[in-house]
Structures are given as structure tokens and as C-alpha cells.
Amino acid sequence: MKSRLVADRLRDLQSITDAALAYLPLETLLSELLTRVVDILGVDTAAILLLEDDDTTLVPRAAKGLEEEVERAVRIPVGRGFAGRIAATRRPVRILNLAEAQVVNPILREKGLCSLLGVPLLVEGNVVGVLHVGTLHERAFDDEDEELLQRAADRAALAISSRLTEQERGLANALQRSLMPRLPQLPAVALAGRYLPAAAARLGGDWFDAFALPDGRLALAIGDVVGRGFHAAAIMGQLRSGLRAYALGGVSPAVVLERLSSLLRQIEPGRTATLLYLVLDAHGGTLTLASAGHPPPLIQPTDGEPWYLDLPGSVPLGAARHTRYDDQDLEFAPGSTILLYTDGLVERRGEPLEAGLERLAATVAQGHEQLEHLGDALIDVLLPEGAGNDDAALLLARATPLADPLVARFPAEVESIPVMRRLLARWLDDAGATRADVDDLTLASAEAAANAIEHAYGLEPGVVELRARTERGDSVTLSIRDFGNWRAPRGVHRGRGLLLMEGLADVVEVVRSDEGTTIELSRQLGAEAA
Amino acid sequence: MNEQPQSDVSYRDSVGVVTLRGEVDIVQAHDLRERLVKAIRNEDLGLVVDLTDATYIDSVGVSLLFELAERLAERQLRLAVVLPEVGLVSRVLRIVNLKSVAEVHGTVNDAVAAIHD
């Protein structure tokens, strides 16, 4: 007798979920859907709650007759109360009289609701939320009501999941873009990075970063925040900022990790993250690293097989109170390559981790000359079908031999001076300079660069170029060039700058032209210090 | 070249002793300047700047010393600088003729004693 009526209702539901609403924004769609549910079932209230990314909390997303629920952003723990029980058991729940039931949400009582019926929103068998309706008078919801509501929920779940995916994908892309740092351009180091989001387009917590420290050394980090979704991504962003702040403070990698661990415990107790952080001194040919439970880096020396660094056991960030981490120092000669990665790169379902690690080492051993090509090859070999359930990241760094003549460009900023000094010191070392040669010539060049930075450019960003070449094997010529309009030095210390250059180099030549100013410094290497 | 700039201030017999380690340059000058100026007490006889463990000094660092000498002279206070015999810092301070504005000594004890003379 009711079958015709039910068929009508189903048609109603199908029409609103499948066709007309398909082009509406999600909020409008849900609102319309609830209006129809209220109408068709003859109830007083209807609400949709969605599961948060952490899978532990339900948050109201749309409501009819219960708008306060959305406005107040009530949070319902999964497993507790009416809606929480539906989400936890993935089964419908009927309540005849609210006065005799366990309910978490105070608004349900405030509204004077008496009877409730709720069903789970399921996508591919997973709960994504709850749809419930209520009446102010007592009503015994029957199987047909339940079936009808479940159909509405299924349609809603489908719409929600596709909209969410779309939204998440957009945000995930934006986040991913911001997560990929602009890799710094340094003369003695080549860098390449890759990030692959997980196949399901859910956000992951993998990240990497690379930046120059004030003294010209290079800071590299790769990490993995446990968990997924926007929340994990947000934590990742905070860790990233924290890392940079602590790293710029000039403390060792182990201390940076100790501080980050405390930071993570403060931001979100219970959340953990693995992290590998290292400082690379391309001039000194060394690196210092510390690991917080992260997979070991792979090192390809100038000759010989690549090898995995033997890291002592360490706990992830946030896992324990007052964690101590250890610094490890390594040789890192020009031509060496280091590969940092997250487990998403090497783990493949149904095979031991060693297989992935072996593939990784074998790919690096092929000896790609271009780091970017190696980055591509690693992705091709390790993740031929793209990332799996987990996202994946890798970061490659190689200390490059310095050319003679050397040409390097720096932003015209005071911070570039130490960077230039480090580079030049290494180049001079290679050219056979003595300690005094290195000291004097790097200082003279720093003075020339300071001149360019302070006098060649106004507030617009400029560039300083360093060229260095050996002449007949025993003397060097360094030129420091700007591309701005030189103006008269201000203040007395610039006069001392020129005095120093003349005192430290054998020959100082200043050439001014419309295109900028070049200061050329020459010196015989190995001569007795002045 | 990785040393972070460090400075200590102590006082011996009415003489301030500032020890600068690491790099005294354009990058650090601003912070160092403040610390040096604050180290000067009106009741003192003078100030000793110990550069024994300084590894690098550029023209901005040099100017800092000249400025300090000038400020001290205005208050009739004396500046003495402690330098090792060799090394970049000594070479630089010879080139700019630091001796024209400050006394140069080999040890902090000599420098403090000289200010008392």
C-alpha cells in the first residue's frame, strides 16, 4: 500500500541528489537536500555531520531546524552519544524518547527533540559522516523511514565525497606548491627535490626544505609528520617554520631537533614526526646531521658504491619528553651526492623494505651527471605508477667541483658576503693558496662586494658577480662586479675599505662604466704575508 | 669561518675588558657596536678590547674600533687593543694604522697595566 509512495519519495531523493543540485556549491546542495528530507519524512529537524580528517570527531556541516548546531560548531567525539555511536558502529540508530537516551550534544535537548533517527554516510564502506532527523513529538521511526533516510544519506555521501575530493585536491595542490621550497642557488652545491602526493589525493605530511644559513653553509631537511589530511599538513607547516627559526639561531642540528621536539609537544601533544636535518659545508667538505627516527640518507661518494649512513637509533620528534639527539659529522668531498627521502619512496606493498632500499641505491649508482635527471630516474624506478597510499618526497644535494675561471652571482645583500667568502676560500684552496692568501683575498673581495652592495644599488634588488681565475699558475685575479650606478661612498669606513683592498692585494683596479663598476684584485700566491 | 661572534665583558681595576671572538664584520657590527658602547662605564679609566681570538675583521669592524676610540677620547678615557703578533686581524689593523688612535698590546694584563700608567 505504501510502495507507490516510497517509489515517489525515492524519485524525489534521486532527482535532488543526482541532477538538479549537482552544480550547486556543496553547502547549498546539503541545505537543499535537508529541506527535502524534512519535507518527505515529515520531521522537524535534519542535520548532516561530517567526520574530521583525524577520524575522531564529527562536526555539523548543515542543518534544518537545528541551525545552532552548525553555528556553535559543536564537536561530537566518535563513539560517544547519538551521532558518535552511529559513526563508530556504522549502523543506524533509532531513539524513541531522548529523555531516556545518552546524548552528548546539548542542543538536541535544548530544542526539545523527542525522537531521533540517524544513519551513517558511507563512501566505499568508510564512514564520512552522519545524517540524522528528529521530531518534537514521540515518533516510532520504522524500517521504511530508515531505508529512505539511508538512501538519502548514500546520495549525500556521494556528493560530499566528490566535492570534498575536488576541494581537497585544489587545496592539496596549493599546499603542495607552498610545500615545495624554492631551492637556493649556491655556486658549490647542486640541489634537486621531488614531492609526490598520495594516490588518494589526501594530503600527506611529507616535506623537505633547503636554505642557506647566514654563514653560507646549506641547511637541508626532510620530514614526515605522522597522520594525514589538512591537520597533518598544518603541523608540517609549523614544523617547517620552527626548523628555519631554530636553524637561523646558529645551533647544531641535534639542538635544532631537540627544540623542534619540544615545539611539537606543545603544538600538539601526542603527534609525532620524523625528521632528518643536516648542515652542509661545501667549502670545508663536511656535513653535520641529526636524525629523529627518520630513514638513513644514502651517500654516493666520488668513487665507489653508494652506502646508507649508519644512524644510531633515535626517537621521532614529539615522542618523548626532553629527548636528546646526536650530531654526526661526515666527510663530504666535492662530487659527493647525498639523497634524503621519506618512506613513501621506498615502501611498496607486499615486499620487504630492503627491496626498495636496494632499488634506490642501484638507481643512484648509475651515476647521473645532472641531479635533476637523477631525481626523475628515482621517481621512475621507485614509483613507476606514482605514489601509493603514502606520499613521497626526496631531496638530493651534490657538492660540485669549482670551475677555473669561477663565475658566481649573489643577491646584492650584506648576507651574501659570508656566502661569497666561503666559496672563494674553497676556490683559493683548490688553486693552491696559503692560509694568508685565503684570509687576505677573501677579506679584500668582501670589501669590494660590500662597496657594490652599499653603493651600486638603491632599494631595488641588485646582483654582485664574482669572477676568479688563476694566471700562469701562481697568481690569481678576482673581479667583483656590480651592474648599478655607483654613487660616492657615504661615511668614512668605505675609505678604509679601499685602503684594506690595497693593503691586502698586490694590484687593485677600479673600472667604472655605464653598466656598473668592476673592482679587480690580483695577487701572487704563496708570497710572504705583508 | 663558522664562528659565531661572541663577546664577554669583565672589569679589572676600573678598566673594562671586552673580549671579541670570531668574526668582527659587517654582518655582526650592529650587535657588537651596542655591546661595546654599553661596556663603557663613566667611572672607568679606559677600555681594553681583546681581539686575541678574533678570526676576521673587515672595514666595518675597523670603523667600529675607530668610533669607539673617538667616543672614549671625548670622555678622556683610553682605548687599548690586545692583538696576537700574526694573523689576518693584526695585518688588517696594521694596514689601517690602528695605533694612531689606540694602544696595542700583546696581552690583556699589559693592556690593563698600560691604561693605569
ipTM, two decimals, is 0.88
Is A417 in CB contact (< 8 Å) with chain B?
A: yes
Which residues of A fall within a CB distance of 8 Å from B91?
436, 439-440, 503-504, 529-530
Is B86 in CB contact (< 8 Å) with chain A?
A: yes
Is B25 in CB contact (< 8 Å) with chain A?
A: yes
* Confidence at residue B2, expressed as pLDDT on a 0 to 100 scale: 40
| Beta carbons of A503 and B95 less than 8 Å apart | yes
- Which candidate from A214, A500, A529 shows the least CB-CB separation from B59? A500
Sequence-ordered list of residues with C-beta below 8 angstroms from that of A303, at least 6 positions apart, any chain: none
Is B2 in CB contact (< 8 Å) with chain A?
A: yes
| Beta carbons of B95 and A504 less than 8 Å apart | yes
Is A436 in CB contact (< 8 Å) with chain B?
A: yes
**Which residues make beta-bridge pairs with A198?**
none
Give the CA distances from residue A83 to residues A56, A76, A152, A333, in Å, rounded to whole numbers and listed in that order: 12, 7, 17, 61
**Could you state, in chain order, the average pLDDT of each consecutive group of 10 residues for chain B (117 residues)?**
66 92 87 88 92 94 94 92 94 95 95 91
| Beta carbons of B95 and A421 less than 8 Å apart | no
Tell me, what amino acid is at A140? Answer: A
Q: How far apart are CA A20 and CA A256, in angstroms?
A: 55
Is A493 in CB contact (< 8 Å) with chain B?
A: yes
| Beta carbons of B1 and A493 less than 8 Å apart | no
Q: Phi and psi at residue A197, in whole multiples of 5°? A: -70, 155
Strands B46-50 and B78-82 turn out to be parallel
Is A426 in CB contact (< 8 Å) with chain B?
A: no
Give the CA distances from residue A223 to residues A235, A271, A293, A322, A370, in Å, rounded to whole numbers and listed in that order: 11, 14, 10, 20, 24
Which residues of A fall within a CB distance of 8 Å from B1?
215-216, 283, 418, 421-422, 425
Which residues of B fall within a CB distance of 8 Å from A440?
88, 91
User: pLDDT digits over B86-105, tens only?
Assistant: 999 999 999 999 999 999 99
* Confidence at residue A468, expressed as pLDDT on a 0 to 100 scale: 96
Record the cell numbers describing residue A71, joined without a space. Answer: 553555528
In terms of Cβ atoms closer than 10 Å to its own Cβ (0-12, 13-18, 19+), residue B34 is exposed
- Which candidate from B1, B58, B96 shows the least CB-CB separation from A425? B1
Q: How far apart are CA A96 and CA A117, in angstroms?
A: 9
What residue of B is the nearest CA neighbor of A494? B59
Is B91 in CB contact (< 8 Å) with chain A?
A: yes
- Within 33-62 of B, beta carbons closer than 8 Å to A belong to 56, 58-60, 62
* Confidence at residue B3, expressed as pLDDT on a 0 to 100 scale: 44
Q: How far apart are CA A288 and CA B110, in angstroms?
A: 40
* Confidence at residue A1, expressed as pLDDT on a 0 to 100 scale: 45
Strands B78-82 and B103-105 turn out to be parallel
* Confidence at residue A152, expressed as pLDDT on a 0 to 100 scale: 85
Is A249 in CB contact (< 8 Å) with chain B?
A: no
**Could you state, in chain order, the average pLDDT of each consecutive group of 10 residues for chain A (530 residues)?**
63 61 73 87 92 80 83 81 91 89 78 92 86 94 89 82 67 68 84 82 80 88 85 86 92 96 93 96 88 96 93 92 93 93 90 91 92 93 82 92 88 88 90 94 96 80 92 90 72 74 94 89 80
